Amino acid sequence: MLGSGGREHALAWKLAQSRLLADDSDTFYAAPGNPGMAAHARCISLDATDHRAVIALCEGSRIGLVVIGPEAPLVDGLADSLRAAGIAVFGPSRAAAQLEGSKGFTKDLCERAGIPTAGYVRTASLDDARAALDRFEAPYVLKADGLAAGKGVVIAQSREEADAALADMFGGQFGEAGAEVVVEEFLEGEEASFFALTDGTTIMPFGTAQDHKRVGDGDTGPNTGGMGAYSPAPVLDETLQARVMAEIVEPTVRTMTDEGMPYSGVLYAGLMLTNEGPKLIEYNARFGDPECQVLMTRLESDLGELMLACAQNRLGTCEPVRMRNETALTVVMAASGYPGSPRKGGAIDLGEAEARGAKVFHAGTSLNGEALVANGGRVLNVTAMGATVARAQATAYRAVDAVDFPTGFCRRDIGWREVEREAKG
Ligand code: AMP
Ligand code: GLY
C-alpha cells in the first residue's frame, strides 16, 4: 500500500481484513504509512518516485499486489512501471490517469463521447484565456490543466477577478500545471460523488458520497481537501446513479478502452446535479479523501479480492460490491492554520474516542517518541456509522469530543444538509 493519509489508513484497515492476507506467512507493507496504519501493516520508507526501488522491493519481498493510494504516483506512471515488471497493481496507467492529470484531456474526452459536462475552452496563453472569457458570463470557472493538489480551480465573481486569476495562473502560480488553463461554464446545483471499480471492461458501482470542501461551518471560507464526508449520498438516488453510469461512467470507460488507454482501478466522478441532470465536474483516478474513509467503513466485500480482480482484468468474476445499508460519516480534525500553514507538532491524545463507537483514521500524524503528534494539515478522521445521518453525526461528534488535540479544530456541522432533510422528513 503506497501512501500515508487518512484514505490510505482506511484502505489498509480494510485490506488487513482481506482473505488474501489470512495466511500468517503473508506480510502487508505500507510505504511510508503512518502511525495508524502501523496497526495493520509493516511501515517502511520507500521513495515512490524511484520506480526501480519500488520494483526491487516488490520483487525482493514477492509482493502479490501493489495498491497506489494517491494521484501523484499514478500520473507519474508508477502503475506502468510495475505492470511492465509483471507486478499486479491496483491503479490506472499514466495514460488513463490523465482523466485526473489533465482537465483539458477529460473535457475533450467528454466531447468525443457525448458526456454531459460544463461547456469549456482550452487555452494555452493569457491572451487566449482572456478572449475565452467573452464566451462566458460571471461567475467564471478557471482551472489549471494539471495536478495542483486540489487548489487549481478558481471561481471568479467578476471579469476583473478572472483577469487577475488568469495572470497568476499563466504567471506560474501552479508551475507546469498552469501552462494550460480550461475556462468553463459555471454549473448550478448540488455536488455529489460517485465511485466505480473497473478493469476497463467490467464496471462495478462502488457507492456514493458527499464531502464538505470549505474550511468553515456553513460551507464558508477557503477550499480544503475536504473537512468531512458521508456515504451514501441520498441525493444521488438509484435513478440518478443509473443515469450517471449510463451517461457518464460507461461511455468514459468504453472510450478509454477503445482508444487504447484502458482504465483500471477506481474511477471517482465529481458530479453537479443540475436541473438538466447529472453533469461531470471532474474525474479523479483514486479514491477521495475523506470519501474513502466513509466508503471503507460501510464496505462488507473483501477489498483485497476486488482490487486484485481489477489488477488481473477479471472484475467480471466478482460478486457486486456489498455495502452496509447505513450511513457512515467522518469528521476531519485539522491542525490550526489549515488550509494555509498548518501548525505541526501539536500533541494528540485519542482518549476514549474509539470506545465511544467511532473509528479514528490517522491522516497526518507522527510519533514523537511514544507521543502522537500532528504532522500535516488534516490530522485525524473521526468516523462513525448510524441508521440515519443524524445518528452517525452524533456518534462521530461524541468521539471528536473525547479527543484531546488543543492545536486542532474541526467543523461542527458535517452532514448538515442531510440532517436538515431528515428532520423535514
Ligand atoms: P474540481 O477540482 O474540478 O473538483 O473543482 C473544485 C470545485 O470547484 C468543485 O468541487 C466545485 O465546487 C467547483 N467547480 C468546479 N467546476 C465547476 C463548474 N463548472 N461550475 C461550478 N462549480 C465548479
Ligand atoms: N475530497 C476530495 C478529493 O479527494 O479529491
Residue 298, phi then psi, degrees to nearest 5: -90, -20
pLDDT at 228: 98
Most ligand 2 atoms within 8 A of CB, residue of 289, 330, 378 to mutate: 289
- Over range 25-38, report the average pLDDT: 95
The alpha helices in 225-267, defined as continuous H runs, are 238-244, 250-258
Cβ(191) to ligand 1 under 6 A? yes
**Ligand 2 centroid from CA 179, angstroms:** 23
Atom 4, ligand 2: residue with shortest CA distance: 288
Stretch (H or E) spanning 350: none
Question: For the whole prediction, is pTM greater than 0.85?
Answer: yes
> 110 vs 104, 135, 354, CA distance in Å?
10, 19, 44
Please say whether the beta carbons of 128 and 158 come within 8 A.
no
Give 76-88 pLDDT, tens digit per residue. Answer: 999 999 999 999 9
Partner residues linked to 195 by β-bridges: 207, 268
**Ligand 2 centroid from CA 288, angstroms:** 4
Cβ(288) to ligand 2 under 6 A? yes
**Ligand 1 centroid from CA 360, angstroms:** 29
Q: How, if at all, do strands 203-211 and 190-198 pair? A: antiparallel
Give 96-146 pLDDT, tens digit per residue. Answer: 999 999 999 999 999 999 999 999 999 988 889 888 899 999 899 999 888
In angstroms, the CA 99 to CA 90 distance is 16
DSSP E strands, 157-256: 181-184, 190-198, 203-211, 214-216, 220-223, 228-231
Cβ(211) to ligand 2 under 6 A? yes
Please say whether the beta carbons of 302 and 19 come within 8 A.
yes
In angstroms, the CA 266 to CA 356 distance is 32
Rounded mean pLDDT of the chain?
A: 95
Burial class of residue 19 (count of CB atoms within 10 Å of its CB; 0-12, 13-18, 19+): exposed
Dihedral angle computed from the Cα positions of residues 323, 326, 332 and 333, in that order, rounded to the nearest 10 degrees: -120
Q: b or e along 345-359 (b: 16 or more beta carbons within 10 Å of the residue's beta carbon)?
A: ebebebeebeebebb
pLDDT at 401: 98
Most ligand 1 atoms within 8 A of CB, residue of 153, 154, 223 to mutate: 153
pLDDT value at 175 more than 90: no
In angstroms, the CA 12 to CA 16 distance is 6
Ligand 1: atom nearest CA of 188 is 21
Residue located via cell numbers 508508477: 78
Instruction: Classify the C-alpha dihedral 73-74-75-81 as positive or negative.
Output: positive
| Ligand number nearest to the C-alpha of 288 | 2
Q: How, if at all, do strands 29-32 and 2-3 pair? A: parallel
Please say whether the beta carbons of 389 and 379 come within 8 A.
no
pLDDT value at 17 more than 80: yes
Instruction: Classify the C-alpha dihedral 226-227-228-233 as positive or negative.
Output: negative
| Ligand number nearest to the C-alpha of 150 | 1
Give 318-349 pLDDT, tens digit per residue. Answer: 999 999 999 999 999 999 999 999 999 999 99
- Over range 201-228, report the average pLDDT: 95
| Ligand number nearest to the C-alpha of 184 | 1
In angstroms, the CA 37 to CA 34 distance is 5
Please say whether the beta carbons of 335 and 343 come within 8 A.
yes
**Ligand 2 centroid from CA 266, angstroms:** 13
DSSP E strands, 212-312: 214-216, 220-223, 228-231, 265-274, 277-284
Look up residue 4 and give its amino acid.
S
**Ligand 2 centroid from CA 290, angstroms:** 7
In degrees, rounded to 5, the angle at the alpha carbon of residue 109 between the alpha carbons of residues 258 and 201 is 35
Ligand 1: atom nearest CA of 152 is 2
**Ligand 2 centroid from CA 226, angstroms:** 6
**Ligand 1 centroid from CA 153, angstroms:** 7
Cis peptide leading into 92, omega within 30 of 0? no
